[in-house]
Amino acid sequence: MRPLPEAPALIIEPGDDSTGRALVVADIHLGLGASSERPLGPPEGAADRLADTLVELARRSRADTVIVAGDAKHPIVGTPPSLRPVVFDFFSELLRAGLEVELVLGNHDVGIVRHLPREVVVHPASGVVRSGIGIFHGHRWPSNTVLRAPKLVAGHLHPGFRFAPTPLDVEGKRRCWVRVERAPPPPTRRSRRSRRHAEIRAREIVILPAFNPLAGTESLNRERPARSRSFLYRRFLATGTARAYLLDGTDLGELTPPTGNDRRSRRAREASMAR
C-alpha cells in the first residue's frame, strides 16, 4: 500500500485475493457545514466536488474500487431528510464512473445504510481485510480477522499538524498521514483462558487524513491532543515508532503519542518545577 501524492488517499495494490487496485479514503463527512440554502455543503467540502475529486483520483491511480473507511456522513445520529439525496447522489456518482464502492461503517454513519445505492457493499465497524490489509474506521475495536492482518489502515483521528499562522492560513493547521512501524510480535503463549481479542500482528499501521478539507484536524504536535483518549493512540500509535507526513510527503518527524501515564507525568513535572 502507498499514499497517493498530494491527496488524502491510499492505494492498495492487487493481492492474492484476486481483487483489483483499491483507493482508500476516510472521513468524508457529507453534510458538514450544510444548510437549507446549501444542502451540498460549503464549496470546499461540497458533496458533488468531493465526488468529482474522488473519481479523478481513482482514474489517476487506475483503481477499480473505492473503499470509504468510515464517516461517510457528518451527522452522528440519523440522516436528516435533506442529506439523504446528497448521500445517495454522492455514491451514485462513484458507481456511474464504473467504480465498485465499499463502506466500512464509522461512528458518524448511524442510519446511513438505508440511504445508499444497493450496489454499495457495506462492512461492519469491526472492519474488513483487503489484499492482506486490515481496514477499519477506528472508533470501535476491530475484529480478530482484521487484527491478524500484517498491515492495518484506520481513519477517525483526522491527523494534522499546527504551524505558525500566515495570512493565507490563519489557523496554521495542515492535514497529515501517520505511519507506525511495529516490531515483530512476540511468540503467542498458550493459555487455558481464551482471549476475547487477538493480538495485533501488524508490522505497519497507517492513519488516514480526513478526506473532507473542512473536517477538523487533530494537532498531533500539541503536548496532549484532544483525541488522545482514543484507543488508537494507546493501543496502536504508542506501540511502535510513529511518524507524521504532510500530503506532499514532507517528513514531520517522529511522534510521541500520549499514553495513559501522561497526566501523571505532567503533574510530576509541574511539581518538580514548583520546587
Tally the domains of the chain: 1
Confidence of residue 37 (pLDDT cuts 50, 70, 90): confident
Question: Which neighbouring-strand residues pair with 123?
Answer: 104
* 31 Cβ neighbours under 8 A, 6+ residues apart: 41, 47, 73, 74, 75, 80, 83, 86, 87
Contact 26, 73 (CB under 8 A): no
C-alpha cell at 46: 461540497
Mean pLDDT of 153-166: 89
Percent of the chain with pLDDT over 70: 84
Of 105 and 221, the structure prediction assigns the larger pLDDT to 105
Mean pLDDT of 239-256: 91
CA 233 to chain centre: 13
Of 166 and 89, the structure prediction assigns the larger pLDDT to 89
Radius of gyration in angstroms for the set of CA atoms belonging to the chain, rounded to a whole number: 19
What gap in Å lies between CA 60 and CA 28, rounded to an integer? 19
| pTM summary value | 0.87
Of 37 and 76, the structure prediction assigns the larger pLDDT to 76
Alpha carbon distances (Å) from 189 to 132, 152, 198? 24, 23, 12
For residue 95, the enclosing domain spans: 2-274
The predicted pLDDT at position 165 comes to: 77
* 50 Cβ neighbours under 8 A, 6+ residues apart: 28, 30, 90, 211, 212
The predicted pLDDT at position 68 comes to: 98
**pLDDT of 93-150, one tens digit each?**
999 999 999 999 999 999 999 999 999 999 999 999 999 999 999 999 999 999 999 9
> How would you label 188-202 residue by residue, b for 16+ Cβ within 10 Å and e otherwise?
eeeeeeeeeeeebbb
The predicted pLDDT at position 188 comes to: 62
Indicate if the pLDDT at residue 189 is higher than 80.
no
Confidence of residue 18 (pLDDT cuts 50, 70, 90): low
